Amino acid sequence: MEGVLNQLPIGLSIGAVLLLIALGLTFTFGQMGVINMAHGEFIMAGAYTAYLLQSVGFLIALPAAFGVAGVMGLVLERLLIRHFYGRPLDTLLLTWGVSLVLQQAARDLFGAPNVQVVSPTWLRGGVGILPYNRLFIMALAVLSVVAIWAYLHRTGQGRRMRAVMQNRRLAATSGINTGRVDQVTFFIGSGLAGIAGVALTLIGPVGPTLGTYYIVDAFLVVVAGGLGQLKGAVLAALGLGLLNSYAEFWSDASLAKVIVFVAIIGFLQLRPQGLFVLRSRALS
Amino acid sequence: MAISEVTVKDAELLAIDEINAAGGVLGKKIEPVIEDGASDWPTFAEKATKLIAQDRVATVFGGWTSASRKAMLPVFEKRKALLWYPVQYEGLESSPYIFYTGATTNQQIVPGLDYLKEKGKKKLFLVGSDYVFPRTANKIIKAYAAANGMQILGEEYTPLGHTEYSTLVNKVIEAKPDAVFNTLNGDSNVAFFKQLKSAGVTADQMPVMSVSVAEEEVKGIGVDNIAGQLVAWNYYQTTDTPENQKFVAAFKAKYGADKVTSDPMEAGYNAVYLWAEAVKKAGSTDVEAVKKAAAGVTLARPEGQVTIDGDNQHVYKTARIGVVQPDGQIKEVWNSGKPIKPDPYLKTYSWAGGLV
Amino acid sequence: MTDESEDVLLAVTGLEVAFDGFKALDGVDLSVGRGELRFLIGPNGAGKTTLIDVVTGLTRPTGGSVRFGDEELVGRREHEIVRLGVGRTFQTSVVFEELTVLENLDLAASFRRPLWSLLRRRRGVSEAVERALETTGLQSLASSRAGVLSHGQRQWLEIGMLIAQEPRLLLLDEPVAGMAQDERARTGELLTQVARDHTVIVVEHDMDFLRRYASMVTVLHEGRVLMEGSVEQVRADPRVQEIYLGRAREEAEDAVR
Amino acid sequence: MTAFQDSTVAAPAEPPARPVPAEPAPARWTRLRGPAVFTAVAVLMLVVAPLALEPFRLGLLAKYLCYAIVALGIGLTWGQGGMLTLGQGVFFGLGGYAMGMYLKLHDAGGDLPDFMVWSGVDHLPALWRPFGNPVFALAMVVVLPVAVALLLGVLVFRQRVRGAYFAILTQALAAALVILLVGQQGLTGGTNGLTNFFDFFGNDVAADGTQRGLYVLVAAVLGVLYLGARQLVRSRFGRLLLAIRDGEDRVRFLGYDPAAVKTVTFAISAGMAGIAGALFVPVVGIISPALLGVVPSLELVVGVAVGGRYALAGAVLGAVVMGYAKTYFSEELPEAWLYLQGALFILVMTLAPKGLTGLAVTLWRSVTRRRAAA
């Protein structure tokens, strides 16, 4: 019985991980329609940043990883992706190529084996079934969501971002520099992947293939949540986290993955555009 | 090449260098041709075919997962060529064209269980990646447990590459076993040990016996996450033999002082020597002649004395249980005293009767 | 087709559409007789396009009904409505640029064929397609890709595709927006020609165009029908002048710009 | 919207049966070019290659041609229909397993297949029983993938799930199927898959003669399917598919249900992938989950992109080129392979979004134009 109850916080903490890895995608995918398969490798870059900075301090790694992954995203956007707007499926293949290159680069830079990232001592221990590091990840997820919300709704730059998200053409004609907004969006979206990477060092392996373990799940969260929808992403991540937690508890890890997939297909029958949709009258 | 396959290749190349430096075999130098199976089974089969049909090599050393071996097996059997497979595996196989230089189950799993039984661990929880080796290993473990008054409290599999272990750790904690028998593979071990450790489970209360975690993996898992846990192999970098001192020194000299040696590497290193010895004995690299000559070949190797069993082409090996140390090395705490005769079908174990 | 103006082809009653609380249509009643040429005008946001969207199944109404002959259209999918005989064009013309003019028309004419019969290669040109080519005057461009057409030619191709569909009711959404003067005249002729044997509803801003080609006009304002009547009646109505005509001129100028 | 052209191989504009003044008959050379090139390629593949290549290389080529059959289907769904499917491995796998199950049962000759023995299965599962019948198994090679594609297509396309959503769902499907296959070891052979086949309809699978015969079979099947696909593309259905790719919503207002057209196309491509999977099994000697997961499915799509997605011949060419490149580079420069593969996609997607065939057409044009100008 205790096990069943324990699955609730576990589900929420799985949801928090899903949310962190998917949050950035809701912007790059949701706002810009870019299917960034290299998002997983930005997570990896964040994790390696934590590895390199572990002597300096874990908390320092968070902003640093945000910066590193964000700049990588910015470079990717400037160099390649901006030539691909309006061709979302092409961005998928393009960024897959980028992700292969980044994986091999990590292998050459840090070696093929996983590297050791020692969790900070203040994250040892826990409350009930949830270790402090899980609570930390949940707090980080909440903080990221609040920060993003505040940014979108309380700053001029964020308002411009929302405007572009809702109607790019109209935003452009009202004098918003959409190219610039795209850069900022990509920087933030990729930076969030970096933060997720730091968090993942607490619970998983840190190696060149790190990103590949999370990328499909991240996209499923975005699909279920609806494009560019903060609240959609939050609810979808928590829902999938709980579903995963209980499905695995009552069956096994393999079956849980299949159940989650079937659930998403079923869910899309009810809501083909995900939980929340931006209404639009345009004939796409 | 995936992580560990590379280091096995390095160890095999070291053996080839050493043999060539000592004059080669039959007066000829060994010339290696390297192909990458890219952790992809059909590619293993393709590359094996290329080595045999196009490069016309004398023998092939390699293979990593069971699946890679199963994919290559028909290639070697149909083309009547030789494969030396250096990894511990799930047994239940004895191909006439494969020599198995890693442990079969009675040289690794069974001694691991003997050790747990000796330590009074009666209730076990089985955790493994979802593929052939863990499933077969766990079948054997269950049969062993049934015959030895041990109890299996749970058996869980996770997909390869799985990294979310909080639910599984919750199940383990709730079941309260005396020990966990771990057949997880690769990166999953990192996530499992990190999450087990942060859930507050220590090696003292609930030790984990792993059969796929060697020196190379310890660092990636994080020494503090796995220190004190048990592993079962036939060789550690710390194994105290003169041959091993030489091997470790030579390996570090060639590839760098920070490199570690591990069981699969040593088994690969041995394979080259065993083949060379058989070729010398046969006076030819002809496959059938080598096979015939290989039976009974005995060498002192880093892990101790090894002998090829002519019947099943496996190798007599000494089982060794170790504990992971805070410096990342593994300290032996128990060994079988003498090399164990390989028994891939567990025919000599009465409790294993219903298995095959 | 004979002109039977008493015979109602399209009957819209109490139609309501809300987008996130905003009422785009607020109880619209409208009936269009068989063979009629009806113009729909109104300032931006009056609900003209929304009305067409509801009739053609693109938008689901929150209330009301749309009867087409004996059939209820609300709740049907777009292609089903087309199969009942309702065709439409869009404000921004959408033709298939990768296909030739002929192929565009041929696709429009073939939707009644069962799917499997489409797997055969097209042999020759059907009568409906030939007629559409002729009506729109696009014969010389038949084997050109639609992507190379001018803006006006595209609109004509769209109208041609509509004709090739052989619908009972045509809905045209701003067919002359963005057109040059001579193209407008050509479109007007095309329109009168089409209206001769079809029932047509045209949404249009352009007053000049309206004056020249319209007979019956319905004015929409803030999601309701403000009035109906001839062009003269509408122009003379003070409410229309107040809410619409003043602004329409600016908008028309905008559109030309 | 940028314009594209069929490749040099894939067909000039169709000649109308009844001459319409507006549609001039193409020049004789243009009309004959397609068939001429096709015949030349067919002779090269069916006659020259089996004589010129040693058995090992011919076997590899047969493998690439299996991928080319899948690519043909991707060319239809993605190139012509705009549906990016990242899960073709699923259908490839279903076809492959159907064939593998038959071969396994046939080899076992009434006993249990080898992997069931070591997986602890003591009697043949009901699911396997009908696959002992070759007719049933061969039918399943096509029926299973088509059925799954129809089901998914109806569920997904009717709800107008498309574009990126569709791509991600098919990718997740591939991931889910792999997990399912791996988890049911007693039924599927787990990660190992099905391997170690001996007899292929009375022939020794490993014999050079059988392999040569299999190569010819694969090449012939590819040729037939190519012609079929080309016919499809040129039919009204093909035009409709193209129209859906460029304006699905608009097509609805032409009175067609795009969901039906897309589902049928998806099912056709699934059937092709199933056939490819079935041929792959005797050619390569294995079918395993590793062959149908996310990465191999993506690699196939990338091959199509490299060859040129808008032309069927481009898709086929791309699959062969990528297969060859993978073998070549993994033999010659294994360390650089991931860099090269990654760089290749980036370059192709950036500089030649229409792929090699698109590039060839552009070059051809500029050459002929220059000649005309001179």
**What are B126-182's pLDDT values in tens digits?**
999 988 899 999 999 999 999 999 999 999 999 888 999 999 999 999 999 999 999
Task: Name the band, by pLDDT with cuts 50, 70 and 90, for residue B316.
Answer: very high
Residues with Cβ < 8 Å from A5, sequence gap 6 or more?
A: none
Q: Assess whether pLDDT exceeds 50 at residue D5.
A: no
Residues B329-342 have a mean pLDDT of 96
Tell me, what's the pLDDT at A280? Answer: 43
Residues A138-163 have a mean pLDDT of 91
Residues B323-332 have a mean pLDDT of 96
Residues D281-295 have a mean pLDDT of 91
Q: By the CB < 8 Å criterion, does A281 face chain C?
A: yes
Residue contacts between C and D (CB atoms, under 8 Å)? 110
Residues A8-37 have a mean pLDDT of 89
Tell me, what's the pLDDT at B48? Answer: 94
Tell me, what's the pLDDT at A277? Answer: 54
Q: Assess whether pLDDT exceeds 90 at residue D229.
A: yes
Residue B70 to residue D195, Cβ atoms within 8 A: yes
Q: Assess whether pLDDT exceeds 70 at residue D97.
A: yes
If you ran DSSP here, which 8-state letter would residue D80 be given?
A: I
Q: By the CB < 8 Å criterion, does D25 face chain C?
A: no
Which chain C residues touch A281 with a CB distance below 8 Å?
19, 49-50, 53, 59
Most confident range, picked from A29-38, B197-206, B269-278, D324-333: B269-278
Q: Judged by CB atoms within 8 Å, which residues 160-219 of A form the interface with D?
A: 216, 219
Tell me, what's the pLDDT at C181? Answer: 84
- Per the structure, the complete domain to which residue C219 belongs is given by 4-256
- Structure tokens belonging to residue D154: 């109806």
Distance CA B278, CA B291 (A): 8
Q: By the CB < 8 Å criterion, does B355 face chain D?
A: yes
Task: Name the band, by pLDDT with cuts 50, 70 and 90, for residue D26.
Answer: low
Tell me, what's the pLDDT at B55? Answer: 93
Distance CA A34, CA A280 (A): 19
Subunits touching D (CB < 8 Å, at least 3 pairs)? A, B, C
Q: For an interface test with D, which of A78, A100, A209 has the most D Cβ atoms less than 10 Å from its Cβ?
A: A100
Residue D236 to residue C77, Cβ atoms within 8 A: no
Which chain C residues touch D236 with a CB distance below 8 Å?
106-107, 110, 113, 118-122
The closest of A118, A129, A105, A80 to A208, measured between CA atoms, is A105
Q: Assess whether pLDDT exceeds 70 at residue A278.
A: no
Q: Assess whether pLDDT exceeds 60 at residue D20.
A: no
Tell me, what's the pLDDT at C52? Answer: 93
Task: Name the band, by pLDDT with cuts 50, 70 and 90, for residue C68.
Answer: very high
Which chain B residues touch D60 with a CB distance below 8 Å?
46
Q: Report chain D's terminal Cα–Cα distance, integer Å.
A: 32
Residue contacts between B and D (CB atoms, under 8 Å)? 105
Distance CA C59, CA C196 (A): 29
Q: Assess whether pLDDT exceeds 80 at residue C4.
A: no
Residues A215-242 have a mean pLDDT of 88
Tell me, what's the pLDDT at C2? Answer: 42
* Residue of higher predicted confidence among C175 and C250: C175
Q: What is the pTM assigned to this prediction? A: 0.89
Domain count for chain C: 1
For residues A191, A196, A198 and A204, what is the CA-based torsion angle, rounded to 10 degrees? -150
Tell me, what's the pLDDT at D19? Answer: 36
Q: By the CB < 8 Å criterion, does B259 face chain A?
A: no
Which chain B residues touch D197 with a CB distance below 8 Å?
74
- Structure tokens belonging to residue C223: 């999601």
Tell me, what's the pLDDT at D373? Answer: 65
Same fold, B3-103+239-316 and B105-235+319-352: yes
Q: By the CB < 8 Å criterion, does D322 face chain A?
A: no
Task: Name the band, by pLDDT with cuts 50, 70 and 90, for residue D374.
Answer: low
Residue D119 to residue B135, Cβ atoms within 8 A: yes
Tell me, what's the pLDDT at D12? Answer: 31
Residue B156 to residue A253, Cβ atoms within 8 A: yes
Mean pLDDT taken over chain C: 85
Q: In chain A, pLDDT over 90 holds for what percent of residues? A: 52
Q: Assess whether pLDDT exceeds 70 at residue D72.
A: yes
Query: Which DSSP helix (H) or strand (E) runs through A35?
Result: none
Residue D3 to residue C145, Cβ atoms within 8 A: yes
Q: Assess whether pLDDT exceeds 50 at residue D23.
A: no
Q: Judged by CB atoms within 8 Å, which residues 190-219 of D form the interface with C?
A: none
Residues C64-78 have a mean pLDDT of 93
Q: Where are the domains of chain B?
A: 3-103+239-316, 105-235+319-352
Q: By the CB < 8 Å criterion, does B158 face chain A?
A: yes
Tell me, what's the pLDDT at B221? Answer: 93
Helical pair A178-200 and A210-225, crossing angle rounded to 10 deg: 120
Most confident range, picked from B13-27, C109-123, C220-234, D302-316: B13-27
Distance CA B143, CA B148 (A): 9
Q: By the CB < 8 Å criterion, does D333 face chain A?
A: no
User: Which tens digit of pLDDT belongs to each residue from D199-219?
Assistant: 999 999 888 899 999 999 999
Residue B67 to residue D191, Cβ atoms within 8 A: yes
* Residue of higher predicted confidence among B334 and A29: B334
Residues with Cβ < 8 Å from B198, sequence gap 6 or more?
A: A119, A123, A124, A126, A131, A132, A133, A134, A202, A203
User: Which tens digit of pLDDT belongs to each residue from D241-252?
Assistant: 999 998 888 899
Neighbour count for residue D84 (Cβ, 10 Å):
27
Which chain B residues touch D325 with a CB distance below 8 Å?
none
Residue C20 to residue A281, Cβ atoms within 8 A: no
Residue A268 to residue D165, Cβ atoms within 8 A: yes
Residues B221-229 have a mean pLDDT of 94
Q: Assess whether pLDDT exceeds 90 at residue C207.
A: no
Asked if B307 contacts B300 with a C-beta cutoff of 8 angstroms, the reply is no
Q: Where are the domains of chain D?
A: 35-293
Q: Assess whether pLDDT exceeds 90 at residue B281.
A: yes
Q: Assess whether pLDDT exceeds 90 at residue D295.
A: no
Tell me, what's the pLDDT at D18? Answer: 37
Q: By the CB < 8 Å criterion, does C174 face chain A?
A: no
Residue A97 to residue D168, Cβ atoms within 8 A: no
User: Which tens digit of pLDDT belongs to each residue from B56-103?
Assistant: 999 999 999 888 999 999 999 999 999 999 999 999 999 999 999 999
Tell me, what's the pLDDT at D4? Answer: 37
Superfamily of the domain at B105-235+319-352: Response regulator (3.40.50.2300)
Residue C94 to residue D4, Cβ atoms within 8 A: no
User: Which tens digit of pLDDT belongs to each residue from D30-48?
Assistant: 677 778 888 888 888 888 8
Q: For an interface test with D, which of A81, A215, A265 has the most D Cβ atoms less than 10 Å from its Cβ?
A: A265
SS3 at position A33: coil
State the complex-level ipTM. Answer: 0.87
Q: Assess whether pLDDT exceeds 60 at residue D14.
A: no
Residues C224-244 have a mean pLDDT of 84
Task: Name the band, by pLDDT with cuts 50, 70 and 90, for residue D279.
Answer: very high
* Residue of higher predicted confidence among A57 and A167: A57
Q: By the CB < 8 Å criterion, does D261 face chain C?
A: yes
Residue B161 to residue A17, Cβ atoms within 8 A: no
Task: Name the band, by pLDDT with cuts 50, 70 and 90, for residue D11.
Answer: very low
Among the partner residues C90, C118, C161, nearest to D236 by beta-carbon distance: C118
Q: Judged by CB atoms within 8 Å, which residues 29-68 of C form the interface with D?
A: 56, 58
Query: CA quadruple A105, A111, A112, A114: dihedral positive or negative?
Result: negative
Q: By the CB < 8 Å criterion, does A265 face chain C?
A: no
Q: Assess whether pLDDT exceeds 70 at residue C255.
A: no
Task: Name the band, by pLDDT with cuts 50, 70 and 90, for residue C252.
Answer: low
- Structure tokens belonging to residue C82: 């087309």
Q: What is the DSSP string of C159-217?
A: HHHHHHT--SEEEEE-TTTT--HHHHHHHHHHHHHHHHSSEEEEE---HHHHHHH-SEE
Query: CA quadruple D285, D287, D288, D292: dihedral positive or negative?
Result: positive
Neighbour count for residue C64 (Cβ, 10 Å):
17
Asked if A53 contacts A45 with a C-beta cutoff of 8 angstroms, the reply is no
CATH number for B3-103+239-316 (one of 3.30.420.10, 3.90.550.10, 3.40.50.2300, 3.40.50.150): it is 3.40.50.2300
* Residue of higher predicted confidence among A174 and B311: B311
Residue A281 to residue C90, Cβ atoms within 8 A: no
- What is the domain-level CATH number for residue C220? 3.40.50.300
Residue C165 to residue D255, Cβ atoms within 8 A: yes
Residue A112 to residue B195, Cβ atoms within 8 A: no
